[in-house]
A and B are shown apart, each in its own frame.
Chain A
Amino acid sequence: MRTLVSPLALRTPRGRLIYWTILTVVVVGFTGAFVFPLYWMVTGALKSPDELAQIPPSFFPKSFDLGVYADAWEQLQLGVFLKNTALYAGGAWLFTLAVDVTAAYALSKLRPFFGKLILGAMLATLMIPPMVLLLPTYLVAKDLPIFHLDLLNTPWAIWLPAAANGFFVFLLKRFFDSIPRELLEAAEIDGASPLRILWSIVLPVSRPILGVVSILSVVTVWKDFVWPLLVLPETDKMSISVGIASLSAQMPQNVLIASLVIASLPTILVFFVFQRSIMAGLTAGSLKG
């Protein structure tokens, strides 16, 4: 496809020279800006405290000793933090899908009275940045209205707020809206219940959007810092980000760096595997918010 620079200009010797120069600069620049810090982190964790403090620093670590990673794993109980975070993110994922899919289906296909109003109220929550509601939401988690339950230090404090996501309802509803009516009406005539229609017709054709919502919800909870910092103050209940941050002051530099590497591995791995869905979610979200 034709872009800013015409293909003709790129075919001249001068055009080619400029193109390859820019390409080299961009590749080197991107690698330096975005990959090198990560390289520095991974190798930093292999260095001894003396080697870390050394000036000028060594580009390659002197030894290849994975012992620091083992230390970090044990001293910081990273296993516990990772297990907690997986529990929070996994549960949040299940809740988000169960709650938001049913809501979007009802709003899109069953069209109840006040449906528009409810959708509007859900979308309105996107207008209020989460940070400004931090304190009242914390108070709700601490003493749930009506039920008077204290959700602090329980996974519910993560799961329930994660499910109240207007953006996911919006994405799902927009997708469900595009499913042709005839498809559902045929099933309705055959006597299928709404739940059955949702399960065996709507969900199978909605795989792409379900994938996007799933990954977004897991990654969001995994990366979150402020909310778990407030609602999961007990050390044994902390998520990985909060755990490392709260213990960071009391440990040697190289152990801290090793724990940072371990903490970033899961999300980077997810990115490797689900790159497509993640980027699809990115543009789906931004172009129509």
Chain B
Amino acid sequence: MAVTEEQVRRPRLEGAADPRPDDDHGGALRRAFGRNLTAYGFLCAALICFALFSWYPMVREVVLSFQENNFVDPGKWVGFDNFRTVIEDPAFRSAWLNTAAFSGLALVIGYAVPFVLAVVLNELRHAKAYLRFVVYLPVMLPPAVAVLLFKWFYDPGSGLFNQILDVFHLPPLSWLDSTSTALVSLVLVSTWMNLGTGTLIYLAALQSIPGDLYESAELDGAGLFRRVWHVTIPQTKLILLVMLLLQVVATMQVFIEPYLLTGGGPENATVTVAYLMYQYAFNFGDFGGGGALGLMLMLVLLVFSTIYLRVSREEEAQ
């Protein structure tokens, strides 16, 4: 098997230049063996790193969620007890609802914006470099910095946002301190600091749309919005879908915003699944409960990842 594979893949070099005159069965086998030995020599560092920090944790995650563990004695299998504990926690419902609401709001507020910005930017002939640079600036800030900066902006007294509202004679908001605005405030930070990525990706996609499509659409009498609807969107359909899925997966893992801005409050209004998982493990010392939450989140996100994989394969095929 090894020999045939080798021969099929690498047609033998002919003639005197051939450095391997011993083309008998044993020689080929020896070479294949040597090649594999070298290859695995090159691979071993990566195999160790992936095994320790990617593959094994997947198994450990499942084991963790079905065990009771104090990390001194060997873990005890407890079936679905961890799941039961977590589900009976009143914060469980809030966490899932908030995570879903966060993702949903992030889609409503942040999904269309980068696309619209990209479409507009693609039409502009001036200040292109500046605009592209500026839109990506927030992405380059460390997220913790961006979030702490917004914490100051959200200050109900002298914070920037209430001052801006004041300029327009609007009543001040309590932003992070009120159950009705806290989650939206988190979505705003998150959108601000991630907007640039989507915009630049869409911009790259828009630049690959052939110009004659617009030309012929215009000759057929299609106005501006019909051209967007019938040319721009169909031409970028797959990347739009890919970004949708990526955004859902990214926003459902939201952690740093509630961790740094609200601590899950007020009244659990901003507890998210990832944050609750962190709390279980590091505040309550219950890694089993945390593991159970992680596993549930993993299963939900796997659905989106699977669709994503399908879509991006389809895109690659095109």
Residues of A within 8 A of B (CB): 1-6, 22-23, 26-27, 30-31, 33-35, 37-38, 40-41, 44, 52-57, 98-100, 102-103, 105-107, 110-113, 115, 118, 121-122, 125, 127-141, 143-145, 160-161, 163-164, 166, 169, 185, 188-189, 191, 194, 198, 219, 222-223, 225-226, 230, 240-242, 244-245, 248, 253, 256-257, 260, 263-264, 267-268, 270-271, 275, 278-279, 282-283, 286-289
Min C-beta distance of A155 to chain B, whole Å: 14
Bits for B229-246, please: 1 = Cβ < 8 Å to A, else 0: 001100000010011001
Interchain CA distance A140-B227 in the complex, whole Å:
54
From the candidates B49, B54, B166, B277, name the one contacting A135 in the complex (CB within 8 A). Answer: B277
- For A194, list chain B residues within 8 Å (CB): 38, 42
Interchain CA distance A106-B42 in the complex, whole Å:
6
Q: Are B148 and A248 in contact (CB under 8 A)?
A: yes
- For A271, list chain B residues within 8 Å (CB): 133, 136-137, 140
From the candidates B35, B131, B227, B298, name the one contacting A132 in the complex (CB within 8 A). Answer: B298
Pick 24 A–B contacts, CB within 8 A, sort by A. A4-B224, A4-B232, A22-B120, A44-B152, A52-B158, A56-B167, A102-B45, A106-B39, A110-B35, A112-B43, A113-B2, A118-B47, A125-B54, A125-B55, A129-B249, A129-B298, A133-B54, A139-B60, A164-B49, A225-B142, A244-B148, A256-B148, A267-B141, A286-B246
Q: Are A53 and B123 in contact (CB under 8 A)?
A: no
Query: Is B200 an interface residue, CB under 8 A from the partner?
Result: yes
Cβ < 8 Å to A, chain B residues 109-156: 119-124, 126-127, 130-138, 140-145, 148-149, 152-153
From the candidates A26, A164, A242, A279, name the one contacting B46 in the complex (CB within 8 A). Answer: A164
If over half of B's interface residues share one DSSP class (helix, strand or loop), that class is named, otherwise mixed; here it is helix
Q: Are A133 and B57 in contact (CB under 8 A)?
A: yes
Q: Are B52 and A160 in contact (CB under 8 A)?
A: yes
Q: Are A132 and B52 in contact (CB under 8 A)?
A: no
From known contacts A99-B49, A135-B291, infer whether A164 and B54 are also in contact, taking CB-CB under 8 Å.
yes
If over half of A's interface residues share one DSSP class (helix, strand or loop), that class is named, otherwise mixed; here it is helix
From the candidates A52, A133, A230, name the one contacting B58 in the complex (CB within 8 A). Answer: A133
- For B153, list chain A residues within 8 Å (CB): 37, 40
From the candidates A3, A33, A98, A118, name the one contacting B211 in the complex (CB within 8 A). Answer: A3
- For B108, list chain A residues within 8 Å (CB): none
Q: Are B144 and A245 in contact (CB under 8 A)?
A: yes
| Closest 6 pairs (CB-CB, A-B) | A2-B211, A103-B46, A112-B39, A136-B60, A241-B144, A110-B39
From known contacts A129-B301, A244-B144, infer whether A5 and B123 are also in contact, taking CB-CB under 8 Å.
yes
Q: Which of B148, B277, B306 has the most CB of A within 10 A?
A: B148
- For A139, list chain B residues within 8 Å (CB): 60, 64, 71, 287
Q: Are B61 and A132 in contact (CB under 8 A)?
A: yes
Which of chain B's residues has its CB closest to A112's CB?
B39
Query: Is B85 an interface residue, CB under 8 A from the partner?
Result: no
Query: Is B215 an interface residue, CB under 8 A from the partner?
Result: yes
Query: Is B50 an interface residue, CB under 8 A from the partner?
Result: yes
- For B96, list chain A residues within 8 Å (CB): none
Give 8 new A-B contacts, CB below 8 A, not counting A128-B58, A132-B295, A256-B148.
Answer: A4-B119, A122-B50, A133-B57, A136-B60, A140-B57, A141-B53, A256-B152, A279-B136
From the candidates A5, A160, A267, A270, name the one contacting B53 in the complex (CB within 8 A). Answer: A160
Interchain CA distance A26-B71 in the complex, whole Å:
56
Bits for B195-215, please: 1 = Cβ < 8 Å to A, else 0: 011001100111101011011
Query: Is B160 an interface residue, CB under 8 A from the partner?
Result: yes
Which stretch, B21-29, B87-95, B178-186, B252-260, touches the partner chain A?
B252-260
- For B196, list chain A residues within 8 Å (CB): 34
Min C-beta distance of B160 to chain A, whole Å: 6
Q: Are A3 and B122 in contact (CB under 8 A)?
A: yes
Q: Are A112 and B45 in contact (CB under 8 A)?
A: no
Interchain CA distance A141-B56 in the complex, whole Å:
12
Q: Are B143 and A223 in contact (CB under 8 A)?
A: yes
Which of chain B's residues has its CB closest to A219's CB?
B140
Q: Which of B9, B53, B207 has the most CB of A within 10 A?
A: B53
Which of chain A's residues has its CB closest to B55's CB?
A121
Which of chain A's residues has its CB closest to B38's CB?
A194
Interchain CA distance A264-B139 in the complex, whole Å:
11
Query: Is B80 an interface residue, CB under 8 A from the partner?
Result: no
Interchain CA distance A22-B131 in the complex, whole Å:
13
Which of chain B's residues has its CB closest to A229's CB?
B259
Interchain CA distance A163-B315 in the complex, whole Å:
28
- For A256, list chain B residues within 8 Å (CB): 148, 152
Min C-beta distance of B246 to chain A, whole Å: 8
Q: Are A112 and B36 in contact (CB under 8 A)?
A: yes
Which of chain B's residues has its CB closest to A55's CB?
B158
Q: Are A37 and B149 in contact (CB under 8 A)?
A: yes
Interchain CA distance A219-B309 in the complex, whole Å:
26
From the candidates B52, B64, B205, name the one contacting A144 in the complex (CB within 8 A). Answer: B52
Interchain CA distance A37-B131 in the complex, whole Å:
16
Q: Are A283 and B200 in contact (CB under 8 A)?
A: yes
Interchain CA distance A220-B212 in the complex, whole Å:
40
